[in-house]
Protein backbone atom coordinates (compact mmCIF):
# COMPACT_ATOMS: atom_id res chain seq x y z
CA UNK A 1 0.00 0.00 0.00
CA UNK A 2 1.41 3.38 -0.94
CA UNK A 3 0.91 6.42 1.25
CA UNK A 4 -1.12 9.38 0.08
CA UNK A 5 0.74 12.66 -0.39
CA UNK A 6 -0.96 13.94 2.79
CA UNK A 7 0.33 11.01 4.86
CA UNK A 8 3.81 11.21 3.33
CA UNK A 9 3.98 14.89 4.33
CA UNK A 10 2.75 14.12 7.86
CA UNK A 11 5.24 11.27 8.37
CA UNK A 12 8.08 13.29 6.84
CA UNK A 13 7.38 16.08 9.36
CA UNK A 14 8.02 13.76 12.31
CA UNK A 15 11.49 13.87 13.92
CA UNK A 16 11.80 10.08 13.87
CA UNK A 17 14.86 8.25 15.15
CA UNK A 18 15.76 4.58 15.23
CA UNK A 19 14.38 2.85 18.31
CA UNK A 20 11.69 5.41 19.17
CA UNK A 21 8.35 4.58 20.72
CA UNK A 22 5.60 6.31 18.72
CA UNK A 23 1.86 6.63 19.36
CA UNK A 24 -0.42 7.21 16.38
CA UNK A 25 -3.84 8.59 17.28
CA UNK A 26 -6.59 7.77 14.78
CA UNK A 27 -4.68 5.23 12.72
CA UNK A 28 -7.46 4.30 10.31
CA UNK A 29 -6.26 1.37 8.16
CA UNK A 30 -2.71 1.77 9.49
CA UNK A 31 -0.74 2.99 6.46
CA UNK A 32 1.08 5.75 8.35
CA UNK A 33 1.76 3.47 11.32
CA UNK A 34 3.39 0.90 9.05
CA UNK A 35 5.59 3.56 7.46
CA UNK A 36 6.63 4.94 10.84
CA UNK A 37 7.43 1.41 12.05
CA UNK A 38 9.62 0.94 8.97
CA UNK A 39 11.46 4.21 9.64
CA UNK A 40 12.14 3.66 13.35
CA UNK A 41 13.47 0.17 12.75
CA UNK A 42 13.27 -3.13 14.60
CA UNK A 43 14.24 -1.62 17.96
CA UNK A 44 11.33 0.85 17.85
CA UNK A 45 7.63 0.39 18.42
CA UNK A 46 4.45 2.02 17.14
CA UNK A 47 1.15 1.81 18.97
CA UNK A 48 -1.68 2.74 16.62
CA UNK A 49 -5.04 3.53 18.20
CA UNK A 50 -8.43 4.19 16.68
CA UNK A 51 -11.93 4.40 18.10
CA UNK A 52 -13.30 2.30 15.23
CA UNK A 53 -13.27 -1.51 15.48
CA UNK A 54 -13.32 -1.66 11.66
CA UNK A 55 -10.22 0.55 11.39
CA UNK A 56 -8.40 -1.53 14.01
CA UNK A 57 -9.25 -4.73 12.12
CA UNK A 58 -7.99 -3.18 8.86
CA UNK A 59 -4.77 -1.98 10.50
CA UNK A 60 -4.10 -5.42 11.98
CA UNK A 61 -4.89 -7.19 8.71
CA UNK A 62 -2.53 -4.88 6.82
CA UNK A 63 0.44 -5.33 9.13
CA UNK A 64 0.84 -9.01 10.05
CA UNK A 65 4.65 -8.92 9.71
CA UNK A 66 5.05 -5.79 11.83
CA UNK A 67 2.70 -7.13 14.50
CA UNK A 68 4.50 -10.49 14.57
CA UNK A 69 7.88 -8.72 14.83
CA UNK A 70 6.63 -6.59 17.74
CA UNK A 71 7.29 -3.29 15.97
CA UNK A 72 3.60 -2.40 15.68
CA UNK A 73 0.57 -2.96 17.86
CA UNK A 74 -2.97 -1.75 17.35
CA UNK A 75 -5.57 -1.01 20.00
CA UNK A 76 -9.18 0.11 19.87
CA UNK A 77 -9.56 3.20 22.05
CA UNK A 78 -11.06 6.66 21.72
CA UNK A 79 -8.22 9.09 22.39
CA UNK A 80 -10.18 10.99 25.03
CA UNK A 81 -10.32 7.77 27.11
CA UNK A 82 -6.95 6.28 26.11
CA UNK A 83 -4.76 4.96 28.91
CA UNK A 84 -1.53 3.06 28.90
CA UNK A 85 -1.81 -0.53 29.99
CA UNK A 86 -0.22 -1.55 33.27
CA UNK A 87 3.56 -1.71 32.83
CA UNK A 88 3.46 -0.14 29.35
CA UNK A 89 6.39 2.20 28.66
CA UNK A 90 5.82 5.83 27.78
CA UNK A 91 6.07 7.02 24.18
CA UNK A 92 8.59 9.48 22.77
CA UNK A 93 6.29 11.04 20.21
CA UNK A 94 2.62 11.04 19.22
CA UNK A 95 1.00 12.06 15.97
CA UNK A 96 -2.45 12.39 14.49
CA UNK A 97 -3.71 13.14 10.98
CA UNK A 98 -7.26 14.40 10.51
CA UNK A 99 -8.59 13.29 13.87
CA UNK A 100 -11.95 14.82 14.81
CA UNK A 101 -11.20 14.98 18.54
CA UNK A 102 -8.14 17.13 17.77
CA UNK A 103 -9.44 19.43 15.03
CA UNK A 104 -10.66 22.27 17.26
CA UNK A 105 -14.38 21.75 16.73
CA UNK A 106 -14.94 20.12 20.12
CA UNK A 107 -12.87 22.01 22.76
CA UNK A 108 -13.81 19.85 25.76
CA UNK A 109 -13.14 16.62 23.88
CA UNK A 110 -9.85 18.04 22.60
CA UNK A 111 -8.79 19.07 26.12
CA UNK A 112 -9.45 15.53 27.39
CA UNK A 113 -7.64 14.00 24.42
CA UNK A 114 -4.58 16.21 24.86
CA UNK A 115 -4.39 15.32 28.56
CA UNK A 116 -4.52 11.60 27.72
CA UNK A 117 -1.83 11.96 25.06
CA UNK A 118 0.41 13.98 27.41
CA UNK A 119 0.06 11.27 30.08
CA UNK A 120 1.28 8.65 27.59
CA UNK A 121 4.43 10.56 26.60
CA UNK A 122 7.84 10.93 28.20
CA UNK A 123 8.31 14.37 29.81
CA UNK A 124 10.00 15.77 26.67
CA UNK A 125 7.59 13.95 24.34
CA UNK A 126 6.23 15.73 21.30
CA UNK A 127 2.82 15.76 19.63
CA UNK A 128 2.30 16.46 15.94
CA UNK A 129 -1.20 17.10 14.60
CA UNK A 130 -1.56 17.22 10.81
CA UNK A 131 2.22 17.59 10.46
CA UNK A 132 2.63 20.48 12.93
CA UNK A 133 4.05 20.26 16.43
CA UNK A 134 1.35 21.01 19.00
CA UNK A 135 1.75 22.22 22.57
CA UNK A 136 0.73 19.70 25.20
CA UNK A 137 -0.70 20.39 28.65
CA UNK A 138 2.02 19.56 31.19
Query: pLDDT tens for residues 29-65?
Result: 999 999 999 999 999 999 999 999 999 999 999 999 9
SS3 78: coil
Domain borders along the chain are: 5-134
Model confidence at 138: pLDDT above 80: no
Model confidence at 1: pLDDT above 70: no
What are 52-58's contacts with CB under 8 Å, separation 24+?
52/76, 55/27, 55/28, 55/29, 55/30, 56/27, 58/28, 58/29, 58/30
What is each CA distance from 35 to 9, 38, 130, 136, in whole angstroms? 12, 5, 16, 24
CATH class of 5-134: alpha beta
Query: pLDDT tens for residues 57-84?
Result: 999 999 999 999 999 999 999 999 999 9
Amino acid sequence: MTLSARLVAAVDALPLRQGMRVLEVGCGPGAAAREVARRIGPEGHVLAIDRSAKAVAQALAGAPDEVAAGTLSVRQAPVERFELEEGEDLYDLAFAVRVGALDGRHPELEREALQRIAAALVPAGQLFIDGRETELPR
